Structures are given as C-alpha cells and as structure tokens.
Amino acid sequence: MHINIEFLVVAYFISLFIDWIFQWDWQAVNKSKWIKGNYGIALHAVLEHSAIYSILTTIGLTIIKILPSGNGNIQVFVFSVLFISHILIDTRIPVKWIMRFKGMSWEQINDIKTFGFMHIGIDHRLHEMVLVILAMFI
C-alpha cells in the first residue's frame, strides 16, 4: 500500500487552517444542532461550512501543486470526498456514536461544557482518517 506522504502532510495543514479559520461562529453553533424545528438551519450550516472547507482545501492543494492541474478529475474526486465526509462528520452523529461506543452516557455526550474537548478531538481524528485514506489514492 502506497501513501502519498507529501499530500497527507500538506493537506492536513491546509485543511486544519481552512476548517478553523473559515468556519463562521454561526456555522459552528448550528451545524450539529439536529433538533426538532432546527433541521433546516443545521442543514444550511453544515452544507455551507463543508462546501467552503472542501472548495478552499482543494484550491489550496492545486495552487501549491500537490494536486496536478490536468483535466480536473483529481480535483473533483478530492473535493467530493472532502465534501461528503465533512458533512457526515460535522453533523456530530459519528462523533456521538464513538463516544457512546466508548461507554459514555447520553448525559455526558450532551454535556458540551465538560466533554466538548472529546467532540472536537474525535471530530478531528475522523477528518484526519479521511485525509489518510485520500493519500492512498492520490
């Protein structure tokens, strides 16, 4: 199995920067609030954030020539994987599933003040795994 280390390292730093700097407070607050009456707002927030993240990360990787600028197929592939995975991860559904798998109660999982660091930590480990998987195909 071959892993493109250059892609992995550069994509990691670019995506981390984009994910934190280009995520507006409104998106961060609403993207994972999948409660009755808020579905439309949550969907809007997670789609908007994921699109910005995926577009800017793909553009950044292309500009610094980590992704070849040929016919665009590789850019479409990278954008699509980043976009779809970011939507899924940032809903916090897989994050909460992992926390539950680790034995945490729903009360603990929903106690963001105490366990918010777990949400962020698991979220970013999942995003990193997406980059590792992408690095196997780039």
Q: pLDDT tens digits for 28-65? A: 888 888 777 788 999 999 999 999 999 999 999 999 98
Question: Half-sphere exposure (CA, 13 Å, Cβ side) for 18?
Answer: 22
First to last CA, the chain: 12
Q: Are 74 and 67 in contact (CB under 8 A)?
A: yes
Print the domain residue range for 123. Answer: 5-135
Q: Are 126 and 93 in contact (CB under 8 A)?
A: no
Structure tokens, 76: 């479409």
Number of domains making up the chain: 1
What pLDDT, in 10s, does the model give residues 100-135? 999 999 999 999 899 999 999 999 999 999 999 999
Q: Mean pLDDT in the chain?
A: 93
Q: Rounded to an integer, what distance in angstroms lies between the CA atom of residue 122 and that of residue 92? A: 9
Residue with tokens 């660091």: 117
**Among the listed residues 87, 85, 116, 84, the one whose alpha carbon sits nearest the alpha carbon of residue 99:** 116
